[in-house]
Structure 1
Amino acid sequence: MRLRFDGWIAGIGTASGTRLVLGHWPRSPFGPVSDVMVEHADGRRVLLAPSAELGEFIAATYGFDEVNVVPVTVHRDRDWTVTAGPLALRFTTGPRRALGRLLRAVPPGIARQPLWVRAIDLPARLVMPGVRTHGSAGNGRREWYGVQDLHPVAAATAAWDGAGLGAFTDVDPPVRFGFGSTPRHPALARVTTTVDVPDTMTI
């Protein structure tokens, strides 16, 4: 069974050592949803998901120490504003750079195809160490990240339980949820994520 999530992924680091990965999916098998993967400075990995069903699916695909079902809201204007349980995040993107323009030049119908995504996995790793476009996920699943655009994050603020997480920084060390990390430099990617789920499993 092949499932597709179409939307955006943002990766942001903070001076406190907490790294944040937002998934915002206007089109998904679960309807319009958003989730946040959090890795704290001590290495504890937390998933913030808006429903138990989505939380179970993501946790079966990635690795977490804790899954919290909380309301997750995303507002997109000039800034992105994210509220997810204890997390409050706001960020602004800058104009796309050379890599973003290159990704935009690939027709979306091609950029989303697993064969294309697999073919560019090695070049992606060479250009952005730690980033993978294709690989094995949890429970026999496989994933393809079809990236179609990329913008740098120009500014960001984040708080956890009301306490600020410090200035936004690189995503360093890389996050450890799955087979790859987000780009080291904070960025927002337009992406179609394809997940192959073995026929013996359910979502």
Structure 2
Amino acid sequence: MRVRYDGWILGAGTTSGTRLVVGHWPRSPLGRVSDVMVERPDGHRVLLAQTPELAEFVAGTYAFDEVRVVPVEVGRAADRWVVHAGPLALRVAAGRRPALGWLLRTVPSPLARTPAWVGLLDPVARVVGLRTRGTAGNGRTEWYGVQDLHRLRATSATWDGEDLGGLAPVRPPVRFGFGSVPPTPSVVRVTTTIGLSTSV
């Protein structure tokens, strides 16, 4: 059995050392949902999920030290993103589409979403330290069908009112699953397909 989450993943580091991964899914088995994965400078990993059902599913796929169900609001307008999720307030400005983004857009979306195509790309992605396919928690397999990419050019973020600093590379890589987001802060248009274990 496979399920599909269709939307965007935004990954950013901050000069304080906190790294953020926002998943915004207008189309999913759970409806329109969003979540934020946070890794603090000391390595503490926190999931901020919009609903208990989303929290259960994401925590069953990735690894966290803490899971919180909180209101998660994601607003998008042109190149601006505004995210409010429990203790996190985040504003992001997206920038240009690099050469890789233009290349991704040349692949027809129906093909780019298919696990077979994503699997073919995984060896290439590994050369630059990324993964498009891998084994997740509870015997699940994931395929990331990326269809577009924009670099981020600015961010403003606070955690419980504390300024997290400016935009920085996602280093060290986040440790939620089998792979990390790109080290360069980016937002990608993606379809995530998850193959569920028959025992789930």
Q: TM-score, normalised by structure 2?
A: 0.98
User: CA-to-partner distance for each residue in 1:37-68, whole Å, 9 max, x for gaps?
Assistant: 00000000000001111101000000000000
**Matched residues, number:** 199
**1:188 and 2:187 correspond:** yes
1:1-203 to structure 2, matched below 5 A, reads 1-78=1-78, 79-126=80-127, 128-129=128-129, 131-201=130-200
User: CA-to-partner distance for each residue in 1:129-180, whole Å, 9 max, x for gaps?
Assistant: 2x20000000100000000000000111110001100111000000000000
Aligned-residue RMSD, C-alpha: 0.7
Identity %: 62
Q: Which amino acid aligns with 1:81?
A: V
Instruction: Output the CA distance in 2 between the equivalents of 1:6 and 1:38.
Output: 21
Q: Which amino acid aligns with 2:102?
A: R
Q: Which amino acid aligns with 2:126?
A: R
Secondary structure of the corresponding residue to residue 151 of structure 2: strand
Runs of 4+ in structure 1 off by over 6 angstroms are none
Structure 1 runs not aligned, ≥5 long: none
User: CA-to-partner distance for each residue in 1:107-150, whole Å, 9 max, x for gaps?
Assistant: 00110000100100111122x32x20000000100000000000
Q: Which amino acid aligns with 1:102?
A: L
Structure 2 runs not aligned, ≥5 long: none
Instruction: Output the CA distance in 2 between the equivalents of 1:95 and 1:170.
Output: 17
Shift of residue 83 of structure 1? 0.1
Q: Which amino acid aligns with 2:113?
A: R
Secondary structure of the corresponding residue to residue 62 of structure 1: coil
Instruction: Output the CA distance in 1 between the equivalents of 2:139 and 2:182.
Output: 25
Instruction: Output the CA distance in 1 between the equivalents of 2:195 and 2:88.
Output: 30
Secondary structure of the corresponding residue to residue 185 of structure 1: coil
